[in-house]
Amino acid sequence: MDNINIDGKSFQAYTIKTTNASLLIINGKKGMLACGYVKVETADKLGDVLAIVTGVNSYDDMRLKPVVAVSKAAEALGIKPGMSGGQALAILA
């Protein structure tokens, strides 16, 4: 786990290396921003706040890439596909 600071806000970030890729998650107080390895359907089943960005290899990539999918709970907070990962993190902080 890494403690990271984005725009003055603290997050816990995780990188799990697999054989062919890395699973990336940035966790805020309200929910998480994750790579495409994590599925929105599971978050919806559990009622978790989740936003997905794809094509990322680092936490900086996650901040810059657009959100491509969100859970129902994330949508209720105002997170929408098309906003940047950084915009989503501002809501998740």
pLDDT tens digit sequence for 17-33: 999 999 999 999 999 99
Task: Classify domain 2-92 at the CATH topology level.
Answer: Hypothetical protein Ta1206 fold (3.30.1980)
Long-range contacts of 73-80 (CB under 8 A, 24+ apart): 73/31, 73/43, 73/44, 73/47, 73/48, 73/49, 74/31, 74/43, 74/49, 74/50, 77/30, 77/31, 77/49, 79/49, 79/51
The model's pTM is 0.94
pLDDT tens digit sequence for 51-76: 999 999 999 999 999 999 999 999 99
